[in-house]
Each structure stands twice: as structure tokens, then as C-alpha cells.
């Protein structure tokens, strides 16, 4: 394997451990719920889900689950859930900056 490719793989592994490097601006996904499959999207700073609950409430379990899954990769205005902060200022999370 080329040494330059090995370096890129190592860098990709580093980046993958730091999800705060990524911010989703828009995406569309299929969510398999308990009773049906739903279309969930985030675009133009707005969430959308085709389930009945979202249609009347502007939030649903599908959107909330995706927010928890992608966490810090969402812009602040797209999060209903606060992003978890380290317990203490001196705690370590397994990598350095």
C-alpha cells in the first residue's frame, strides 16, 4: 500500500474520533420506526418528518432520535437536546487537540 494512502487512512481514523469537526447543513434519511418507515429531513434550517405526530407538533421521536445520533454534528439551531459537555474541565476524552 502506498505510504501516502496509509497517512490518509490514519488521518481519517483521527477525524472519525472527533465528530465535532463535521456539521450537517442538510440531509435526508429513511427512519424505520416501530409501525412504519418515515422520511426525515433537515434542510434550510428546518426539520421535517412525514409521520402524523410531527405534522401536528413540529417534533417527533424520529427527529429526536436522529438528533441524539448525530449530536454535535448538527448546527446549534437544529438541536432540541443539549450537547453533552465533559463532566469536569480537567477530564480527558481520549484524544488531544
Give yes or no for a contact between 39 and 49, defined as CB atoms under 8 angstroms apart: yes
pLDDT of residue 72: 84
Closest CA to 21 of 77, 69, 73, 96: 73
Residue 83 has pLDDT above 80, yes or no: no
- pTM, two decimal places: 0.71
Give me the mean pLDDT over the 2-26 stretch: 91
pLDDT of residue 94: 43
Kindly list the domain boundaries of the chain, sorted by start residue: 22-78
Residue 54 has pLDDT above 60, yes or no: yes
pLDDT of residue 64: 94
What DSSP letter does each residue of 68-90 carry, written as one string?
HHHGGGS-GGG-SSPPPPPSSTT
Amino acid at each position: 500500500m502506498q505510504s501516502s494512502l496509509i497517512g490518509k487512512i490514519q488521518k481519517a481514523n483521527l477525524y472519525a474520533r472527533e465528530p465535532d469537526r463535521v456539521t450537517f447543513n442538510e440531509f435526508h434519511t429513511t427512519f424505520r420506526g416501530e409501525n412504519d418507515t418515515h422520511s426525515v429531513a433537515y434542510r434550510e434550517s428546518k426539520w421535517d418528518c412525514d409521520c402524523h405526530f410531527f405534522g401536528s407538533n413540529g417534533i417527533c421521536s424520529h427527529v429526536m432520535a436522529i438528533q441524539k445520533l448525530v449530536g454535535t454534528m448538527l448546527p446549534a439551531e437544529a438541536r432540541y437536546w443539549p450537547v453533552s459537555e465533559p463532566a469536569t474541565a480537567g477530564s480527558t476524552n481520549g484524544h488531544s487537540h
